[in-house]
Structure 1
């Protein structure tokens, strides 16, 4: 779940810029079910979920010049954003994957200090992107679950 318990508050609230996903912050007080492991298919008996059925696939991109090793580090850092935005994450039902792209258009080759900033920002950016996607989702015919705006 990307929300704290069954509330409308996003786990990624500390990384929100402005009101990009509702501006609600964390609930105060925290709901009793905040630490409960909420899985949609447990709440709605839609059948067994095979391994990998809760997969999130993402892309993180930069215009910096990155080596193959630095691009891998960028993907790993962005993947940390999953854990900031989704609870639980990294379960046997997940097949999460992040691809990193570096265009090199800026011509900037990162010094160590700037690389730290890039990698930290990648995790926060991924958490924001996940929450923004959920916040902006609109309902469609045949949906098995309600979208955030319908809660």
Structure 2
């Protein structure tokens, strides 16, 4: 499943630059999605690489997301922008937070969390090219396994035909 692009949230859940970060659970793992000061969406592993605090509790500011524990700041691409407790610039230059490719299309934020060398082409669907006022993007959380949801939706005995 990692070798596919996944819808991780709606664009409306990251409404404007520097809005609150969003905790996302995907394929049994925790991530954080955020929109930086320039409007770019970032998708990182939820836990700060420094001491493991949740970046979902952080602040999105000045081009990145800042961990509330020690103040480390990361760009949408995972670059370490600031480390207030480590003054050596060589330290930040060789570090990078786990960040994943993101596409924002059709009112949905999509992410790829698989191996970089196996990243598939991003598929485009007709709804992505329609004007926003002509489409509705809904998010429904269902407390079940992904495969159960797909199987149940495809099983014709569950459809009144």
Larger relative strand fraction = 2
Larger relative helix fraction = 1
Q: TM-score, normalised by structure 2?
A: 0.22
User: Which structure is higher in RCO with an 8 Å CA cutoff and minimum separation 6?
Assistant: 1
Q: TM-score, normalised by structure 1?
A: 0.23
